[in-house]
Amino acid sequence: MAVINKPAGILVSGNSFKTIDNALEQNITKSNLPDATRPRPVHRLDYPTTGLLLVGKTSASILALNKLFQNKEIKKAYFAITTGSMPKEGKIETNVDDKKASSTYTVLESVPSKKYDCLNLVKLFPKTGRKHQLRIHLATIGNPILGDAEYGIEGLIVKGKGLYLHAYSLSFIHPFTNEKMNVMKDLPTKYSKIFSSLL
């Protein structure tokens, strides 16, 4: 298996030619195990989201990783910058696409902002994996993610900087070695331009 750092502005998979799925074969060393297969992402990240993406390189690992996701045995943490004043921590359980969805968050730091009242550096823990879950959840409490053109507040959407949502860590038990895996990827530099504590 492999973990890659997905850049913003690329689909993980789909009908487009320019996808992570299509790029993996040229960019990842093939497994030397007998059931080696074309490397495949085993979960999704939104087009504008950056960060960690788990990839299976053998038939057995793709099956095992999919099972870990189904059983909610892979813990994910994200960082986002949200707009507007918000409580220091909370749980959001608004349904997404008529399905139960649950996320928790902690505000690590807030800075004043003329345009948004304040900007918050937030750590997020999705308990379910619905499409656009974190973006929808934060928008429903009135604190959309900075740069979210789809769920942001009309007239308050920052253009040209992308979405401030980053898949920061993946924690799980390796399905073959039973080793505790905890992979993290630092935030892109654009976050430290707003929160100097990240420098």
Question: Tokens for 33?
Answer: 């195990």
pTM: 0.93
Mapping DSSP to helix (H, G, I), strand (E, B) and coil, where does residue 2 land?
strand
Decide if 80 is inside a domain: no
Mapping DSSP to helix (H, G, I), strand (E, B) and coil, where does residue 89 land?
strand
129 with 75: CB under 8 angstroms?
no
pLDDT at 159 over 80: no
pLDDT at 160 over 80: no
- In the structure, what pLDDT confidence band is assigned to residue 34 with cuts at 50, 70 and 90? very high
pLDDT at 157: 73
52 with 31: CB under 8 angstroms?
no
Decide if 135 is inside a domain: no
92-126 burial string, b = 16+ CB within 10 Å, else e?
beeebeeeebbbebebeebeeeeebeebbbbbbbb
Decide if 7 is inside a domain: yes
- In the structure, what pLDDT confidence band is assigned to residue 161 with cuts at 50, 70 and 90? confident
Decide if 191 is inside a domain: no
Distance CA 165, CA 193 (A): 15
pLDDT, the chain, mean: 94
Q: How many domains does the chain have?
A: 1
* Closest CA relative to residue 76, chosen from 162, 180, 184, 176: 184
What's the residue count for the chain?
Answer: 199
CATH number of the domain within which 62 lies: 3.30.70.580
Decide if 24 is inside a domain: yes
* Closest CA relative to residue 91, chosen from 78, 76, 106: 106
Decide if 156 is inside a domain: no
Q: Is 46 a catalytic residue?
A: yes
Handedness of CA 17, 19, 24, 26 (dihedral sign): positive
Cross-strand bridge partners of residue 113: 117
Decide if 57 is inside a domain: yes
Lowest mean pLDDT among 7-16, 74-83, 89-98, 137-146: 7-16
Decide if 54 is inside a domain: yes
pLDDT at 154: 78
- Catalytic residue, chosen from 21, 35, 46, 98, is 46
Question: Which residue range forms the structural domain that includes residue 42?
Answer: 2-74+174-180
Mean pLDDT across the stretch 137-149? Answer: 95
